[in-house]
Structure 1
């Protein structure tokens, strides 16, 4: 069974679990923000290398159209764990969705670029008053778009098109620019179909851009399950770093990109992901706070303190083959 058929079936199963009997004790339901994005590579590696199995777990993976949608799915009880930026956790707590980041995943916007079609003569300042494609409101692409407007002192219309719609809407002229993640950004650059007017990995100060998240009540009642799932996921990160050829082949297969693009994705993103996941200590607390501060720059609003959205009770121990 190929990956995306399995993910579709997992999605149906997740819906049934919301209203049906309680899930089996050994099942972890993981929500992935969008199809062609590195969390999918991690989770699929953990499945294929049987790392969840080694932890005594069965993993159900469900791909959503954006990080905001996957967070909403967790809030609704459709998945147990997802990956998103700290701002979604902060905004969720203000609205009664009590969740915390249990493991750090990325400390930079690796591969994220603000792109325009190659035939466009627009630069960053010329995007004032234009339409900018994002995956969804509240997503990482939305936060970066808002930060861009504030930092560059321009205004534009943020247009949600979903993760699968970024490229088609950009190249089809339905938006003037788009906040594009890797490996889509790498593929567009390599093909010559689009060019970057801003590289977020260089423009935005290092901060906690993504972390694995669970609801407070799930962490409290199913802590052993959370620990085992994190062990498998960080075991997958270790495996990918130690097995370049296998991982490049997997990326090419999952995202239907040429091997050279998959190799660029490996170097640009996979090799820069966090390997220990620990949320303990002042350094990671400061990285979370900076992430919240940057989000507030883009869209001024109250945020809960970093300490309120961090859980240091889990220390991922990477599963070994």
Structure 2
């Protein structure tokens, strides 16, 4: 064996050992996502595929749940480190001893969320009294919107939790009369002609902080660097997606097995509208959180704590560059 070859093999061996050592030393952040076909999943998947967590020196484990409430329960049980959910769950959780806070603003509107009925249905919002309306889970974003509809439109209906993956099948099979559907599913079944929108929450509900990244108080206190690195990667993904339309549309189509035109609609109407800085200390954020809690209260949710107890300005994402 030549000296040159020995040197190459030696260097390769050292590289393998270094990589193994890095993998063993890298901290892991467990990311909880409310449902599969939803923009937070696109963000997290982009961060993984662009190796943004790796560039921050950490590894990420993504787990997809059946809805926002189940995601929050996972964090409360210690199965997730950082999740995306509405402020109302943080508020209700603190009353029950689940101490967590919003550490980054993710969305200021219900982009793509629609109250839908089967295409042949003659029902309008005012006709939903006594009917069944599908939601992902109790306490989730879809449940909040359903509760808001009850209060704002003065109509009483039964909210039926079917999980994120069950919204469309249950709506189209007639198991529920209507459903609160998120994008891109709402775009997909609308364009296919299988369902139609009777209420567009993006325009009907006043702008408010509808979702943010949440971590337990203990994690923020014990491992602030890990939280910071995770946020950097997630907002690096947002920046990457906004700068790379074609790549992101292709990813959405691949992840959710949908046509390119529906993926493009999701990109234009949702991805391009999510928050890019995540800064919880921004001037309008506190008011937006308060409005979110007020809307939740109007929807019938109790156990609302002061806004100051729901948010944290400890972190400010510094987007990781690919």
TM-score between the two structures when normalised by the length of structure 1:
0.92
CA shift, 1:300, in A, is 4.6
How many residues end up aligned between the 2 structures? 299
Aligned position for 1:152: 153
Q: Secondary structure at the match of 1:27?
A: strand
CA shift, 1:302, in A, is 3.6
CA distance in 2, matches of 1:167, 1:310: 33
> Contact (CA 8 Å) 2:26, 2:57: kept in 1 or not?
no
Residues 17-40 of structure 1, C-alpha deviations (whole Å, 9 max, x = no match): xxxxxx976110000000100000
> Contact (CA 8 Å) 2:92, 2:302: kept in 1 or not?
no
Aligned position for 1:11: none
Aligned position for 2:140: 139
Aligned position for 2:216: 215
Consecutive unaligned residues of structure 1, counting only runs of 5 or more, are 1-22
Q: CA RMSD in A?
A: 1.0
CA shift, 1:301, in A, is 2.0
Aligned position for 1:47: 48
Seen in structure 2, the aligned counterparts of structure 1 residues 180 and 24 have a Cα distance that, compared at 3 Å, is farther
Seen in structure 2, the aligned counterparts of structure 1 residues 204 and 136 have a Cα distance that, compared at 3 Å, is same
Consecutive unaligned residues of structure 2, counting only runs of 5 or more, are 1-23
Seen in structure 2, the aligned counterparts of structure 1 residues 150 and 317 have a Cα distance that, compared at 3 Å, is same
Aligned position for 2:60: 59
CA shift, 1:283, in A, is 1.5
Alignment pair present for 1:256 and 2:274: no
Q: Which runs of 4+ in 1 moved over 3 A?
A: none
CA shift, 1:155, in A, is 0.1
Q: Secondary structure at the match of 1:143?
A: helix
> Contact (CA 8 Å) 2:113, 2:180: kept in 1 or not?
yes
CA distance in 2, matches of 1:58, 1:215: 19
Q: Secondary structure at the match of 2:284?
A: helix
Q: Secondary structure at the match of 1:187?
A: helix
Aligned position for 2:206: 205
Alignment pair present for 1:290 and 2:309: no
CA distance in 2, matches of 1:24, 1:207: 40
Aligned position for 1:247: 248
CA distance in 1, matches of 2:26, 2:246: 35
Aligned position for 2:87: 86
